[in-house]
Structure 1
Amino acid sequence: MMKIAKEFTFDMGHMLDGHDGKCHNLHGHTYTLQVEVAGALITTGSSAGMVLDYGDIKRIVKEHVTAKLDHAFAYFEENENECRVAKLLQEMERKTVALPCRSTAEGLAMVIYDWLAPYLPVSAIRLGETPTSFCEYTGELS
């Protein structure tokens, strides 16, 4: 089994309503996303010797992840206050994205994994929220 990864960046706003720290305020991050895929090497055709063409990874991640999240306000669809902020932004024709969980790095990593799994053999999602803080999700919670 071989593993390869491609890195992306995107900017996103969010808030963690109810959090005891400063992240309960509306703020944003420049996220670093590493998408790791695993598989056997392709044996025939123009992609022989590859797990997957990096260009294919780029196209799929752009379509299913960064196009949704970049310069958007991400909010937990079950949080009343975050939904109120999102509604106001939507009325102003601003970009928002509803999430099935809190917009923590951990929650985002799981959502991104789920968005990509139907299209790529994802083995890990690494999401950096700051230059010194990141999480990794491999598809299973221990």
Structure 2
Amino acid sequence: MRIAKEFTFDMAHMLDGHDGKCHNLHGHTYTLQVEVSGDLIATGSSAEMVLDYGDIKRIVKEHVTAKLDHAFAYFEENENECRIAKLLQEMDRKTVALPCRSTAEGIAMVIYDWLTPYLPVSAIRLGETPTSFCEYTGEPS
């Protein structure tokens, strides 16, 4: 059985070195769907559930949206993005370092890694715009 919960958050980023307009600093309202899977719970107050949606909400808020919402996400190995992050940090602004470029694909993989210690994640779907999204299932591409 698979269930999912949807979240939204706003985040700024840039793709330094990209040939398109996304090389500029800009932001998105992201849509995040966290899908979890497992057997139905047999007994107790959560009987016939995979997991309580409230538990998913609490875990995603703590480990994902609290970090990303209204932050500048930057690739920790990119010199230009790090320079911008440093300036923002000096101004006491929210930043989050990522181990990859801040593409939708990269962010989805990071979110998957952040959540799998706490949830039986089967897929992360991340929408960057109303018409563009990616899905990551933990399988190498």
TM-score, structure 1 normalization: 0.99
Separation in structure 1 between the aligned mates of residue 131 and residue 45 of structure 2, nearest angstrom: 39
Shift of 1:46: 0.3
Query: What RMSD, in angstroms, separates the aligned Cα atoms of the two structures?
Result: 0.3
1:59-107 residue CA offsets vs partner (Å, 9 max, x unmatched): 0000000000000000000000000000000000000000000000000
Following superposition, which runs of at least 4 residues in structure 1 exceed 6 angstroms of deviation? none
Give per-residue Cα distances to partners, 1:1-58, cap 9 Å, x unaligned: x000000000000000000000000000000000000000000110000000000000
User: 1: CA distance between counterparts of 2:82 and 2:29?
Assistant: 22
Q: In structure 2, how many angstroms separate the alpha carbons of the residues matched to 1:139 and 1:56?
A: 21
Provide the residue aligned with 1:90 in structure 2. Answer: 89
Give aligned-pair identity as a percent.
92
2-side partners of 1:133 and 1:73: how far apart?
A: 20
Measured in 2, the distance between the counterparts of 1:139 and 1:45 equals 31
Structure 1 residue 141 displacement after superposition: 1.6
Q: Tell me, yes or no, if structure 1 residue 33 matches structure 2 residue 32.
A: yes
- Aligned pairs for 1:124-139 within 5 A: 124-139=123-138
Q: CA deviation at 1:136?
A: 0.1
Aligned positions, number: 141
**So what's the TM-score if we normalise by structure 2?**
1.00
